[in-house]
Amino acid sequence: MTEKKTLPPADPLKPYKGRFESHDRIPSKGRAKDDIFRELSVIAEEENSRWQTGRVSGTFYHAGEDHRAYLNKVFALFSHENTIQFDLCPSMFKLESEIIAMTARMLNGDRVPEHHPEDQVCGTVTSGGTESILMAMKAYRDWARREKGITAPEIIMPHTAHPAFDKAGQYFGIRMVHVPVSAPDFRVAPQAVEARITADTVAIVGSAGNYPYGLIDPLEKLSEIALNHHIGLHVDGCLGGFILPWIEKLGYAIPPFDFRLPGVTSMSADTHKYGFALKGTSVVLYRKNSFRRHQYFGVPDWPGGMYTSPTAAGSRSGGLTAATWASLVYLGKEGYLEAARAIMDAADEIKAGVEDIPELTLIGDPTFLISFLSDEVDVFHINDFMKTKGWRFNVLQLPPALHFCVTMPQTYSDNMPGRFLKDLQAGVDYAKEKAGTIAETTAIYGIAGTVEGNQQVTEMVSGYLDYLYTVT
């Protein structure tokens, strides 16, 4: 065993420094398999124990240990399969085509011929929500260039849409036009979207639901706008795509958000979130194949042979594809409905409890993701306190707020919502005591959000990433 000590880490960003051997070069002689496995087992056990408590917002979309073990077993069968090797691994296209078809039907792709008789929903499997969004934005850019002659494309998006859209804009030379959202609705205003449409607009974006607040944008109105202006409408269902359909079937008032809307031309939905597959897989769907064709990449005259690639990635492990397919067909409609019911039971209790705390204000009308702010206390102080109790919120800004995304781990323990609300009330009391002082928390996507102060944010985060990539 290579563990050196078990004292609490001095640096929470580098918790294994001083505990395990570090490697900044390939060792001259390989280490023993058992030694390596023991080391990794210790690390895995420690990290798994953090989210298995049910105190982590979102992040780990987990349908139980038995399900995880099953998916890992399936993954192992196809871990060395390569999805890009069409002839050697034909199973990959069987499985991926079925993943796409199942996802499309779940999102009412079979309803498209009702309003567009000539169209049929299609898509691809990607490495995650970001790649799904990137591929859709590239497809719109190339479609507009070829079909409309637009060389300076613009895409209009709510300010609450995922930063992956901005990444696509930077990567593909698309001007991303942001539309602000404001209280009390915190959803994009359709008239504000329409007012920003120009001759160079190729598509608009709406979320179902958006990451900060879990809210569904007014997609019926956005659909009408897209149709009237002959532009695309991408619905980002990366977060909600695999749970909203089941919540709706449970009787909750979920507005139409999918291919039932005639203006929707593409959607993204993450199988590795509420599809309960392994990270990272997602699906991007298009209303018709002529859109998908613009996603493809090909080089016909390369000396290595004619090269084609349907997505940004080249080689991908077939294990992820197989595990995704296995998750969908194992859980089935009954399994997804059962999971949605358990999640919503917990979310409804949390929502009601937050409403009962006078210092807190719910943002919008939440479903599975509960976000709140406060005009009376600093919510960042609340987060500081909740971290001491093992809770990990997602920290928001503009305005300062917190959200907690309910997943299956919150449903495994008795009275988890009750414990959450008890600690949250104590967190509000703590924030009152700390009034006038500066909280440790700040808002950084993907981490709990504790840094020293508010410096030049972009430079700070870049330095943070540089530090994480150093070997210690």
> Do 445 and 403 share a domain, yes or no?
yes
Predicted confidence pLDDT, tens digits, the chain (472 residues): 455 445 455 677 788 888 888 888 999 999 999 999 999 999 998 888 888 888 899 888 888 889 999 999 999 999 998 888 778 888 888 999 999 999 999 999 999 999 999 999 999 999 999 999 999 999 999 999 999 999 999 999 999 999 999 999 999 999 999 999 988 889 999 999 999 999 999 999 999 999 999 999 999 999 999 999 999 999 999 999 999 999 999 999 999 999 999 999 999 999 999 999 999 999 999 999 999 999 999 898 999 988 888 999 988 899 999 999 999 999 999 999 999 999 999 999 999 999 999 999 999 999 999 999 999 999 999 999 999 999 999 999 889 999 999 999 999 878 899 999 999 999 999 999 999 999 887 655 444 444 444 445 556 556 655 665 565 6
Residue 267 is assigned to a structural domain of this protein: yes
Show which of 316, 347, 362 is a domain's final residue. Answer: 316
Residue 29 is assigned to a structural domain of this protein: no
* Phi, psi for 150 (deg, rounded to 5): -85, 120
The two tokens of residue 380 are: 């960042």
> Do 292 and 345 share a domain, yes or no?
no
Residue 84 is assigned to a structural domain of this protein: no
> Do 308 and 178 share a domain, yes or no?
yes
> Do 189 and 295 share a domain, yes or no?
yes
Q: What domain range includes position 339?
A: 333-466
* Structural domain count of the chain: 2
> Do 349 and 232 share a domain, yes or no?
no
Q: In whole angstroms, give the CA distance from residue 259 to residue 263.
A: 8
Cβ burial, residue 160 (10 Å; 0-12/13-18/19+): buried
Residue 346 is assigned to a structural domain of this protein: yes
> Do 342 and 261 share a domain, yes or no?
no
Whole-model pTM: value is: 0.90
Q: In whole angstroms, give the CA distance from residue 318 to residue 381.
A: 45
Identify whether the C-beta of residue 232 lies closer than 8 Å to the C-beta of residue 123.
Answer: no
Residue 438 is assigned to a structural domain of this protein: yes
> Do 140 and 288 share a domain, yes or no?
yes
> Do 194 and 304 share a domain, yes or no?
yes
- The amino acid that residue 109 corresponds to is G
Nearest partner of 424 among 456, 454, 397, 385, judged by Cα = 385
Which tens digit of pLDDT belongs to each residue from 304-353? 988 888 999 988 899 999 999 999 999 999 999 999 999 999 999 999 99
Q: Hey, how many other C-beta atoms are within 10 angstroms of the C-beta on 329?
A: 13
Residue 53 is assigned to a structural domain of this protein: no
Cβ burial, residue 241 (10 Å; 0-12/13-18/19+): buried
Residue 389 is assigned to a structural domain of this protein: yes
Q: Hey, how many other C-beta atoms are within 10 angstroms of the C-beta on 361?
A: 17
243 SS3 class:
coil
> Do 103 and 225 share a domain, yes or no?
yes
> Do 298 and 343 share a domain, yes or no?
no
Residue 353 is assigned to a structural domain of this protein: yes
Nearest partner of 406 among 366, 446, 363, 447, judged by Cα = 366
Burial per residue of 125-159, b for 16 or more beta-carbon CB atoms within 10 angstroms, e otherwise = bbbbbbbbbbbbbbbbbbbbeeeeebeebbbbbbe
Q: In whole angstroms, give the CA distance from residue 105 to residue 121.
A: 9
Q: Hey, how many other C-beta atoms are within 10 angstroms of the C-beta on 96?
A: 23
> Do 405 and 435 share a domain, yes or no?
yes
Q: In whole angstroms, give the CA distance from residue 364 to residue 464.
A: 33
Q: Which residues, other chains included, contact 292 with Cβ-Cβ below 8 Å and sequence gap of 6+?
A: 122, 123, 124, 139, 286
